[in-house]
Amino acid sequence: MSDPRILILGAPGAGKGTQSKRLCEEYDIEHITTGDALRANKQMETEYGTPAEYMDAGELVPDPLVNEIVAAALEDADGFVLDGYPRNESQVEYLEDATDLDVVLYLDVDEEELVRRLTGRRVCPECGASYHVDFNPPEEEGVCDECGSELVQRDDDTEETVRERLKTYEENTEDVIEHYRGTDEFVQIDGEQSPDEVWADVKDAVDAQAE
């Protein structure tokens, strides 16, 4: 099988990062995220300027510039997992002109489960270790295993912020999911299973679609 070209979709907390990592290891392909592509090409000159001009000012990088950066990253990769792009209909159209996808994976997770996953994260302000109250708790509640410091919940992991993030995600990407839902490449995966069960379904989908 040639190196598969995969698009992975799903809300924050759906497990895209975990599954993307396993896909890259299994098929020896690249993990392309919008953020990484922009950081790697901060000084790339385009007719819209460089990504650095927007990123350093804390502004959103405009779509046409993001498109060019992602296209350049895809061009350099034989196979890939594309994560975090496209985010809207115009980016979908650009991507369809730039490359052919073998499979579009959608990790489907209920909103309440996403909230549970995202609000359960706890981090150590001293050494940066990360935990989860349900899935990866420290040995002693609220205390870092590594350095003994008190764990904290980040501001962006509070329920109010998480629900706002999920609402924004849904508003922006619902059209993207619906666009691909009608295609032969689209495979919906039950993202509420264990990571190993999700991986089994993901691998089956990629192997079937990329034959």
Question: Which of 116, 117, 122, 165 is flagged as catalytic?
Answer: 165
Verify whether residue 39 is a known catalytic residue: no
Question: Which of 16, 116, 117, 122 is flagged as catalytic?
Answer: 16
Verify whether residue 121 is a known catalytic residue: yes
Verify whether residue 165 is a known catalytic residue: yes
Contact status, residue 106 vs residue 10, Cβ threshold 8 Å: yes
Question: Which of 22, 42, 87, 203 is flagged as catalytic?
Answer: 87
Which DSSP letter does residue 159 get?
H
Contact status, residue 81 vs residue 6, Cβ threshold 8 Å: yes
Query: Which residues lie across from 49 on neighbouring strands?
Result: 46
Verify whether residue 5 is a known catalytic residue: no
For β-strands 103-108 and 5-9, DSSP reports them as: parallel
Contact status, residue 25 vs residue 47, Cβ threshold 8 Å: no
| Residue among 172, 173, 204, 175 nearest 188 (CA) | 204
Question: Which of 21, 39, 154, 181 is flagged as catalytic?
Answer: 154
Question: Which of 121, 163, 167, 181 is flagged as catalytic?
Answer: 121
Name, in order, each residue with C-beta under 8 angstroms of 204's C-beta and a sequence gap of 6 or more: none
Active site residues: 16, 87, 121, 154, 165
